[in-house]
């Protein structure tokens, strides 16, 4: 007992000494940090568009630490004494979605998991299954959520679709077969129609889009390899758009639109290196004015089209500053017209705010 009390007093004295040292040194550290911030001007980026519309760069982020930017005094003191926390950060982000709570969900094949950033509640979660003996997550590809905010993630290597609860708890692996194989050859894009109780999955190597019920049973498919309407050459990302389903037909250098039964409606894009043409389309999304945004990874831009396939404008350039991209891959536009771009090689997410006039009639670029 005496030894226990001595050890306890010794530990308390040690901690008190460390705290005293921390208290003495921390203010200088804080002042230095503040001076550093004062020397660095925030980046600004903005585009003025026709009709009084505007696109403004809002922020970029790449780490769990940015979800909790205002750590208290005692937290910073502990960081100073014991070292900063080991935060998660983006390694090779690919796809992005937001849920009804405003949480930002990002797949990261480089980290073999999924990041959930909640800037409203200042919370962060990382989902992974890399060490599991069955249904391990190896290459998370695309992500979406259903009406209940359950999270669906395709795994292009495992050949399955993972479903998680909103809090990140694993629910099931759709397409998981005996022997550890997956039903899909290379699942990439995914979309969930909660009202109709349907799940859409692109199988890139089969050049098909599969239609599943909510139990994961295959109801049908559409598409085949080819250049014509309704045919694909390595389709990837999906996006629901009103009554339509948009499919990134990657190596046909276009986006095709179908009704939800798989009947062809229209297509946007062609191969080329001029404005309006595409070379490496990766992702697609739609704003409140029904204009269609398409990421081109090779050119490092986002092109914006009307429903007639005419280019309205584009933004981006190769680089690492605000409004610049290196191999962008993912794209999502939320209900408030926040435009999220996965700037993959720069290992960050860039967020833009589109301010429109809520009218769907737009003129093309001259």
Mean pLDDT estimate for the chain: 86
At residue 201, the pLDDT reads 98
Asked if residue 340 belongs to a domain, the reply is: no
User: Distances in Å between the alpha carbon of 127 and those of 137, 156, 299?
Assistant: 10, 17, 31
Last residue of a domain, one of 139, 164, 180: 180
* pTM summary value: 0.85
**H/E stretch holding 52:** none
Q: Using an 8 Å Cβ cutoff, are 320 and 326 in contact?
A: yes
Q: Using an 8 Å Cβ cutoff, are 235 and 221 in contact?
A: no
Asked if residue 92 belongs to a domain, the reply is: yes
**Same-domain status, 25 and 93:** no
Q: Per DSSP, what are the bridge partners of residue 328?
A: 343
Asked whether residue 2 carries a pLDDT value surpassing 50, the answer given is no
Asked if residue 95 belongs to a domain, the reply is: yes
Asked if residue 55 belongs to a domain, the reply is: no
**Same-domain status, 15 and 97:** no
Last residue of a domain, one of 180, 214, 245: 180
Full residue range of the structural domain in which residue 119 is found = 88-180
Which has the closest alpha carbon to 137: 117, 115, 161, 116? 161
DSSP, collapsed to helix, strand or coil, labels residue 80 as helix
**Same-domain status, 33 and 117:** no
CATH assignment of the domain containing 105: 2.40.10.500
Over residues 249-253, mean pLDDT: 97
Asked if residue 133 belongs to a domain, the reply is: yes
**Same-domain status, 92 and 37:** no
Asked if residue 312 belongs to a domain, the reply is: no
Which residues, in sequence order, are CB contacts of 260 under 8 Å at separation 6+? 193, 196, 198, 243, 244, 245
Last residue of a domain, one of 127, 155, 180: 180
Phi, psi at residue 251, to the nearest 5°? -90, 5
198-242 per-position pLDDT tens digit: 999 999 999 999 999 999 999 999 999 999 999 999 999 999 999
Confidence class for position 78, pLDDT limits 50, 70, 90 = low
Asked if residue 159 belongs to a domain, the reply is: yes
Asked if residue 130 belongs to a domain, the reply is: yes
Which has the closest alpha carbon to 322: 66, 35, 55? 55
**How many domains does the structure of the chain reveal?**
2
12-58 per-position pLDDT tens digit: 443 444 444 443 433 443 333 344 344 445 688 999 999 899 999 99
**H/E stretch holding 37:** helix 2-39
Buried residues in 321-351 as b, exposed as e (16+ CB within 10 A): ebbbbebbbbbbbbeebbbbbbbbbbbbbbb
Which has the closest alpha carbon to 204: 237, 175, 176? 237
Asked whether residue 71 carries a pLDDT value surpassing 90, the answer given is no
287-296 per-position pLDDT tens digit: 999 999 999 9
């Amino acid at each position: 007992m005496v030894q226990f009390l001595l050890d306890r007093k010794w530990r308390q004295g040690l901690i008190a000494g460390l705290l005293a040292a921390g208290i003495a040194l921390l203010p200088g550290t804080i002042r230095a940090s503040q001076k550093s911030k004062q020397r660095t001007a925030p980046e600004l980026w903005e585009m003025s568009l026709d009709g009084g519309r505007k696109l403004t760069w809002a922020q970029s982020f790449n780490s769990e630490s940015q979800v909790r930017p205002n750590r208290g005094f005692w937290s910073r003191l502990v960081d100073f004494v014991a070292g900063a926390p080991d935060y998660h950060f983006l390694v090779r982000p690919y796809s992005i979605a937001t849920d009804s709570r405003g949480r930002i969900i990002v797949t990261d094949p480089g980290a073999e998991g999924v990041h959930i950033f909640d800037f409203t509640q200042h919370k962060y979660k990382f989902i992974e299954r890399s060490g599991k003996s069955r249904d391990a997550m190896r290459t998370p590809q695309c992500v979406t959520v259903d009406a209940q905010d359950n999270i669906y993630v395709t795994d292009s290597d495992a050949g399955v679709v993972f479903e998680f609860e909103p809090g990140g708890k694993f629910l099931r692996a759709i397409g998981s077969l005996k022997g550890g194989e997956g039903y899909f050859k290379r699942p990439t894009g995914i979309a969930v129609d909660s009202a109709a109780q349907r799940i859409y999955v692109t199988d890139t190597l089969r050049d098909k889009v599969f239609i599943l019920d909510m139990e994961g049973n295959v109801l049908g498919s559409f598409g085949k390899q080819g250049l014509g309407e309704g045919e694909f050459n390595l389709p990837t990302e999906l996006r629901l758009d009103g009554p339509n389903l948009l499919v990134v037909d990657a190596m046909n250098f276009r986006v095709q639109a179908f009704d939800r039964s798989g009947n062809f409606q229209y297509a946007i894009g062609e191969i080329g290196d001029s404005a309006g043409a595409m070379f490496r389309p990766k992702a697609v999304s739609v704003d409140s004015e029904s204009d269609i945004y398409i990421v081109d990874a090779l050119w490092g831009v986002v092109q914006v089209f009307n429903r007639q396939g005419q280019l309205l404008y584009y933004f981006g350039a190769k680089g690492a500053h605000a409004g610049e991209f290196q191999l962008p891959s993912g794209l999502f536009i939320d209900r408030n017209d926040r435009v999220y771009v996965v700037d993959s090689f720069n290992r960050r997410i860039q967020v833009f705010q589109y301010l429109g006039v809520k009218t769907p009639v737009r003129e093309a670029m001259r």
